[in-house]
């Protein structure tokens, strides 16, 4: 994938990004099958064939898009976390950063939810995603070792925490005024933290 290269001409960068942008919007609203590659190209303002210079197939496009969005979510929510000392504050940092990212990128979070279990996402991509999630599971494992988090399988905690976070985001998308209610958000975080914390 050329777009991972560091030094690339501006115009090429722009084209790939426009394709990603168009694909994100269209896949989310119309579905994978409901979106012709021709429409993606048209929306992106490039020629039909150009799309296939950057992505071997349509599936290749959605898989790369999925990885890119997942990466972005993790990067955005973990950026600066190393400065924080206590585990609880780290978790709160992650939790609120993730929610912030979701609230400012509703289409992206919706895209993730929609294609998480879709058969278009290959197992190869899933494995890549699994590597990314180690950032989170390592933190959980550390908390277990320090007796701050319950002694429960890491995978289970991760699943439950992630899913619960998604449930919270869903609620905030429908009730965005709550997002600015700090008292509510405080209670909400404790709903999350209480599951993890020991005793």
Partner DNA sequence: GATGAATGAGGGTTCATTCAT
Partner DNA sequence: GATGAATGAACCCTCATTCAT
Give every CB contact of residue 140 below 8 A, 6+ residues apart in sequence. 149, 154, 157, 158, 161, 196
Find the binder of DNA among 29, 38, 104, 186 (CB under 7 A).
38
- Which residue from 121, 114, 129 is spatially nearest to 170, judged by alpha carbons? 114
Find the binder of a second copy among 126, 162, 186, 198 (CB under 8 A).
162
Question: Could you give the count of Cα atoms lying within 13 Å of 92 in the half-sphere of its Cβ?
Answer: 13
- Which residue from 98, 81, 199 is spatially nearest to 138, judged by alpha carbons? 81
Find the binder of DNA among 20, 27, 28, 37 (CB under 7 A).
37
Residue 96 touching a second copy (CB under 8 A):
no
Residue 31 touching DNA (CB under 7 A):
no
CA distance 36 to 30: 10
Stretch that binds DNA, among 33-41, 87-95, 111-119, 184-192 (CB under 7 A): 33-41
Residue 36 touching DNA (CB under 7 A):
yes
Output the smallest distance, CB 114 to a second copy, in A.
4
Residue 51 burial (CB count, 10 A): 22
List of residues contacting a second copy (CB under 8 A): 29-34, 110, 113-114, 116-120, 150, 152-153, 155-156, 159-164, 166-168, 170-171, 174-175, 178, 187-188, 191, 194-195
């Amino acid at each position: 994938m050329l777009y991972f290269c560091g030094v690339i001409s501006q115009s090429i960068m722009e084209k790939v990004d426009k394709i990603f942008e168009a694909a994100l919007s269209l896949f989310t609203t119309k579905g994978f099958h409901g979106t012709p590659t021709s429409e993606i190209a048209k929306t992106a303002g490039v020629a039909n064939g150009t799309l296939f210079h950057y992505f071997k197939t349509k599936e290749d496009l959605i898989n790369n898009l999925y990885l890119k969005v997942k990466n972005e979510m993790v990067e955005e929510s973990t950026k600066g976390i190393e400065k924080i000392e206590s585990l609880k504050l780290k978790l709160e940092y992650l939790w609120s950063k993730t929610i912030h990212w979701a609230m400012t990128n509703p289409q992206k979070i919706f895209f993730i939810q929609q294609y998480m279990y879709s058969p278009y996402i290959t197992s190869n991509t899933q494995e890549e995603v699994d590597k990314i999630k180690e950032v989170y599971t390592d933190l959980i494992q550390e908390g277990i070792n320090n007796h701050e988090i319950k002694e429960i399988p890491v995978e289970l905690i991760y699943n439950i925490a992630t899913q619960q976070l998604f449930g919270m985001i869903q609620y905030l998308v429908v009730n965005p005024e709550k997002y600015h209610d700090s008292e509510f958000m405080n209670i909400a975080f404790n709903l999350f933290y209480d599951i993890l914390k020991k005793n």
